[in-house]
Amino acid sequence: MSHDQEVSREMQNAFVDGQLDAADWTALVQRMGQDEALRCQVCKLRTLKDMVKGAYADARPRRTALPANRRGWALVAGLALVFALAGWLVHDATERTGAVELHGIAARGLVVHLASSRGEVVDTALQEVEDYLHEARAAGRKVHVEIVANQTGLDILRAGKSRYAKRLEELRAKYPNLTYIACHQTADRLRENGVQVKLLPGVRYATTALDEIVRRMQQGWVYIRA
Amino acid sequence: MQGLFGVSAQFRARVEIQREALYRLAYSWCHDAALADDLVQETMLRALGRGGQLRDQAKLKGWLCAILANCLKDHYRGAQPLEPLDEQMPSPAESPESASASGQLAARVRAEIERLPLGQRLVVTLVDLEGFSYAEVGEILEVPIGTVMSRLCRAREALRPRLMDFAAAQNNKIRSIR
């Protein structure tokens, strides 16, 4: 950094953020010793940085711990045994492919988590759930499937909003062992923003989607994220 | 950390410790307390499911922040067509004018942060609130370090006149009262 060069904004930012190497840092400090305007600019940047940090110092989460904390996540997983582990594996596969694959999962219950209302996600999830229930019935297996929706996924369970109302009703009429759960926290958030939330007939609320998922896992159900 | 019966209690505890920092970031990104809670819950759920993917335990916080950023993107993607991060401008919950009237500097800062395009907001809060290096921010947001620097620069260029003037005005008010 020569004396003739103007010190760029990027360089000034890097200085206040501690991102300069020793040589550049030293050169900039020397330069500031002779350049009052530069010193003033850097001082303002430092002040700005402190202001941003201070503005969020009292931001605290409403929730203080994961629900599983009550008994410990290891215990939750322990109770779920192989099924829970299978759930996480399915979960991982889902994250990679963006599609659920329920075929062949042997468990007494599946909790399918829908956090998105994107058509491809919902279509795939509902199709996989239907295939799974059909397969279980044909094999004489007693299973229960619960679709838990939160975030934008809640939209599929909302009366007057869901594009899937008819399909969901048909599925439930065909398979009484299929239930739909809505996240109360998400609904509350929508209401706080002035959105009216009315659920489809037969849909139940859980305090939060996570509470419900953990509760089901404690009962040995497999968790699938759609 | 992925034991025989799933994620270990130690890993879960280490994730839990980061809740407050994650919430602070999430809140600074969306300025909606309930949504920030949702995003943090979702982040922790995803983290516990993917614990085996974290190779370097020292990078836990950055890894969690990357998941949080993806949760936020997923949220916006589900809510509306996702515009480039630099263009995304949510409607502020609190106008700068009302924050100014309330005389609360923190509220004014938050309002101004909220006015920033999302890409700039993510960068400035990761650097200023959590002290991540530029390289770490680049990893978290999956953008080149040059993008981090330019977004940060533009964010502070936007914030500086608005907030420094406001702070100066507040200071003058206090002096006149005295």
- Which of B49, B67, B82 represents a domain boundary (last residue)? B82
The CATH number of residue B105's host domain is 1.10.10.10
* d(CA A138, nearest CA chain B) in Å: 31
The CA distance from B58 to B49, in Å, is 18
Structural domain boundaries, residue B145: 85-178
Write phi, then psi, for B83 (nearest 5 degrees). Answer: -85, 165
Predicted confidence (pLDDT) at residue B4 exceeds the cutoff of 70 = no
How high is the mean pLDDT of chain A?
A: 79
Say what the pLDDT of residue A97 is. Answer: 33
Predicted confidence (pLDDT) at residue B99 exceeds the cutoff of 70 = no
Which residues does B5 contact at the CB level (< 8 Å), separation at least 6?
A74, A77, A78, A80, A81, A84, A85
Residue A4 within any structural domain of the chain: no
A75-85: average pLDDT: 33
User: DSSP letter at B53?
Assistant: G
Instruction: Indicate whether B33 and B55 sit together in one domain.
Output: yes
Q: Which has more pLDDT, B40 or A118?
A: B40
The ipTM is 0.81
Predicted confidence (pLDDT) at residue B91 exceeds the cutoff of 80 = no
Q: What percent of chain A has pLDDT over 70?
A: 78
CB nearest B28 (choices: A56, A61, A64): A56
Predicted confidence (pLDDT) at residue A171 exceeds the cutoff of 50 = yes
Least Cα distance to A107 among A130, A132, A74 occurs for A132
Say what the pLDDT of residue A177 is. Answer: 93
Residue A179 within any structural domain of the chain: yes
On whether any CB of chain B is under 8 Å from the CB of A52, the answer is yes
On whether any CB of chain B is under 8 Å from the CB of A84, the answer is yes
| The amino acid at B161 | P
Instruction: Indicate whether B105 and B177 sit together in one domain.
Output: yes
Instruction: Indicate whether B95 and B178 sit together in one domain.
Output: yes
Instruction: Indicate whether B90 and B174 sit together in one domain.
Output: yes
The CA distance from B3 to B15, in Å, is 16
Please give the C-alpha separations between residue B104 and each of A3, B30, B169, B171, in angstroms, as whole numbers: 41, 19, 12, 12
Instruction: Indicate whether B42 and B57 sit together in one domain.
Output: yes
Instruction: Indicate whether A71 and A180 sit together in one domain.
Output: yes
Say what the pLDDT of residue B82 is. Answer: 44
Instruction: Indicate whether A95 and A186 sit together in one domain.
Output: yes
Interface-testing mutation among A7, A45, A48, A75, with chain B (most B C-beta atoms within 10 A):
A48
3-state per-residue secondary structure call for chain A: CCCCCCCCHHHHHHHHCCCCCHHHHHHHHHHHHHCHHHHHHHHHHHHHHHHHHHHCCCCCCCCCCCHHHHCCHHHHHHHHHHHHHHHHHHHHHHHHHCCCCCCCCCCCEEEEEECCCCHHHHHHHHHHHHHHHHHHHHCCCCCEEEEEECHHHHHHHECCCCCCHHHHHHHHHHCCCEEEEEEHHHHHHHHHCCCCCCECCCCEEECCHHHHHHHHHHCCCEEEEC
B97-114: average pLDDT: 72
Structural domain boundaries, residue A188: 67-225
Instruction: Indicate whether A192 and A86 sit together in one domain.
Output: yes
Say what the pLDDT of residue B3 is. Answer: 41
- pLDDT category, B86, cuts 50, 70, 90? low
Listed by number, the residues of chain A in 88-127 with a beta carbon closer than 8 Å to a beta carbon of chain B are 88, 91-92, 95, 115-118
Instruction: Indicate whether B96 and B166 sit together in one domain.
Output: yes
Q: Which residues of B touch A215 (CB under 8 A)?
A: none
Tokens of A44: 């303002």
pLDDT digits (tens, 9 = 90+) for A131-166: 889 988 988 888 899 999 988 899 999 999 999 999
Instruction: Indicate whether A14 and A103 sit together in one domain.
Output: no
The CATH number of residue B11's host domain is 1.10.1740.10
- pLDDT category, B28, cuts 50, 70, 90? very high
Residue A90 within any structural domain of the chain: yes
Residue A62 within any structural domain of the chain: no
Instruction: Indicate whether A86 and A111 sit together in one domain.
Output: yes
pLDDT digits (tens, 9 = 90+) for A13-24: 999 999 999 889
Q: Which has more pLDDT, A213 or B153?
A: B153
Instruction: Indicate whether A51 and A71 sit together in one domain.
Output: no
Instruction: Indicate whether B100 and B170 sit together in one domain.
Output: yes
User: DSSP letter at B59?
Assistant: G
**pTM passes above 0.80:** no
Domains of chain A: total = 2
pLDDT digits (tens, 9 = 90+) for A91-127: 433 333 333 455 555 567 888 988 888 888 898 889 8
Instruction: Indicate whether B62 and B150 sit together in one domain.
Output: no
Q: Which residues of A touch B156 (CB under 8 A)?
A: 9, 13, 45, 48
Residue A157 within any structural domain of the chain: yes
A182-187: average pLDDT: 90
The answer to whether B78 and B69 are in contact (CB under 8 A) is no
Estimate to the nearest angstrom the gap between the alpha carbon of B104 and the chain centroid.
Answer: 21
Say what the pLDDT of residue B8 is. Answer: 67
Residue A3 within any structural domain of the chain: no
B6 vs A186: CB contact, 8 Å cut-off?
no
Instruction: Indicate whether B89 and B78 sit together in one domain.
Output: no
Instruction: Indicate whether B41 and B89 sit together in one domain.
Output: no
Q: Which has more pLDDT, B135 or A152?
A: B135
Listed by number, the residues of chain A in 21-40 with a beta carbon closer than 8 Å to a beta carbon of chain B are none
Instruction: Indicate whether B91 and B166 sit together in one domain.
Output: yes
The CA distance from A3 to A13, in Å, is 19
Domains of chain B: total = 2
Q: Which residue of B has its CA nearest to A19?
A: B133
Say what the pLDDT of residue A63 is. Answer: 62
Cβ–Cβ contacts within 10 Å for residue B155, how many? Answer: 26
Say what the pLDDT of residue B96 is. Answer: 45
Instruction: Indicate whether A51 and A72 sit together in one domain.
Output: no
- pLDDT category, B80, cuts 50, 70, 90? low
Predicted confidence (pLDDT) at residue B106 exceeds the cutoff of 60 = yes
Instruction: Indicate whether B74 and B97 sit together in one domain.
Output: no
The answer to whether A90 and A101 are in contact (CB under 8 A) is yes
Instruction: Indicate whether A137 and A206 sit together in one domain.
Output: yes
Q: Which has more pLDDT, A89 or B62?
A: B62
Which residues does A119 contact at the CB level (< 8 Å), separation at least 6?
A163
Say what the pLDDT of residue A98 is. Answer: 36
